[in-house]
Amino acid sequence: MTDFVLIPGACHGGWCFDGLAEDLRARGHRVLHPTLTGIAERSHLSHAGVNLETHIADVLAELSAHRVTNAVLAGHSYGGMVITAVADRMPERIDSLVYIDALVPRDGESCWDIVDDEMRQWYLDVDDTGYGVRPMTFFDTRATPHPLASLLQPIRLDGDINGFRRRDFVYALGWPGQSPLRRSYERVRDDPHWHVHELEGSHNLMRDNAAGLLSILADSAP
């Protein structure tokens, strides 16, 4: 049995992993897929102070509360920022990392720094509160605004994620036009420390290529 901890991307709750979690549990694994503060069913907790550090704290608390050990920590999209910091701060609980069409940051970088100009324009489409980034049109209908501060705050890292047993990057091929995750993909594509995969399907691979993603996650287990 492996502990899988699945972290959603911007605007989404842990429910975006419901089907994938069910399939992993059917294989005998334990799966946690929390919703981050201020988003989806936790949107009532949204305020201007919710940022990347808030979301990192969410997941660190989840690992501690559930006594997670030797985990596969996976993040979708924005979730790549969160899992990178969590793995850096609590490496003793993490076995491997999976980036699901996700950002791969370096120390001192924010989401804003890594994405393309089109994505930056989306970040600026805030709601009436002034700090919530509206969901994109193709997102799940349950998606809610995402805290802007979390997309602008630089990550702080002390270690090297190449120290983990395994790192996987899953690149979605179904973006209309160039993927805003292209820069992250190119960072790891030719790195021998990484297993890099390309999957047919749009950004939400949990929905559009669940079978392919399930296979990659299962292979990442210790």
Active site residues: 77
Do the beta carbons of residue 9 and residue 18 sit within 8 Å? no
Phi then psi dihedrals of residue 74, to 5 deg: -120, 140
Token pair 């100009």: residue = 117
Q: What's the Cα-to-Cα distance from 32 to each of 2, 6, 182, 203, rounded to whole Å?
A: 11, 6, 28, 21
Token pair 């983990």: residue = 164
- DSSP conformation class of 126: B
3-state helix, strand, coil in the chain (%, to 5): 40, 15, 45
Rounded Cα gap, residues 7 and 16, in angstroms: 9
